[in-house]
Amino acid sequence: TEEKPLLGKKVLITAGPTREAIDPVRYISNHSSGKMGYAIAKIAKRLGAQVCLVSGPTCLQIPYYTDSYVSVESAKEMFEAVLEKYKEYDILIMCAAVADYSPTQSAQEKIKKTQDKLILELSKNPDILEFVGKNKLPGQVVVGFAAETQNIVENAYEKLMKKNADVIVANDARKAMGSDENQVYLVFRDKPTIMVEGKKEEVAKELLKRVCELL
Ligand code: PMT
């Protein structure tokens, strides 16, 4: 219907940062607050969808507007949660700021301050968006994000192709992380790029409207 274009559709959204353990008390992470992904979940629910939110650690309330909420910490945990569920969903929106690398070995005990220099070796994490993009089922729509600090749209187009997504939501990482507003470029495979600006809920509304057109 007009007001509930996502009725009967299932949407899976990832949100927030991931934490990659260095030792039992320390981690590597980033400034994602989860606000953008949670806003998408809220609007998707309002538009009639059944919503699953897979969230890294945030300061946000566990939302009342999801049908399923999975709390994860590391990129590997997020990957496993998405892997287990993604086939059941019509729309996959990968909004989380997943760490690209994690410590090759996380120490069993707290690392002591005995050395003047400490070298941390990092290994590449699985790319969740790339996995779902390349393994998507017929009819599934895959939305990725791209957080850049330069050449925002060009880099987004590259990610769209490399990860086989249907849309990339490109934004400036410095402005987007943590704030209540966002300015994004919706980059499609064969349609002109659209700029959307406003509160994260308004951006979510426009994004989901465009995603409905791809279903
Ligand atoms: O949480 P907020 O404070 O509201 O901020 C919102 C946001 C800036 C985090 C969000 O709008 C955003 O841009 N999210 C994606 C951040 C990111 O990790 O971008 P990226 O360009 O590094 O990654 C590209 C895409 O690949 C993303 O869809 C990401 O979820 C995905 N990815 C990345 C690495 C990885 N190992 N697995 C992935 O799935």
- Reply yes or no on whether the pLDDT at 169 is more than 90: yes
For the CA atoms of 197, 62, 55, 91, what is the dihedral angle to 10 degrees?
Answer: -60
Ligand 1 nearest atom to the CA of residue 178, by list position: 3
pLDDT band of 214, cuts 50, 70, 90 = very high
Q: How far is the CA of 194 from the centre of ligand 1 (A)?
A: 19
Question: How far is 44 from 41, CA to CA, in rounded Å?
Answer: 5
Domain coordinates in residue numbering, the chain? 10-100+124-214
ipTM over 0.95: yes
DSSP secondary structure string for all residues of 6-56: TTT-EEEEEESB--EEEETTEEE-----SHHHHHHHHHHHHTT-EEEEEE-
Q: What's the pTM value of the predicted model, to 2 decimals?
A: 0.97
Ligand 1 nearest atom to the CA of residue 100, by list position: 36
Greatest alpha-carbon pair distance for the chain in Å reads 65
Burial of 128 (0-12, 13-18, 19+ CB in 10 A): buried
- What residues are labeled active site? 30
Q: Which of 102, 129, 150, 175 maximizes ligand 1 atoms within 8 Å of its Cβ, making it the mutation to test the pocket?
A: 129
| CATH class of the region 10-100+124-214 | alpha beta
Residues 42-65: tens digit of each pLDDT? 999 999 999 999 999 999 999 999
- Reply yes or no on whether the pLDDT at 158 is more than 60: yes
- Reply yes or no on whether the pLDDT at 212 is more than 70: yes
| Percent of residues in the chain assigned helix, strand, coil, to nearest 5 | 30, 30, 40
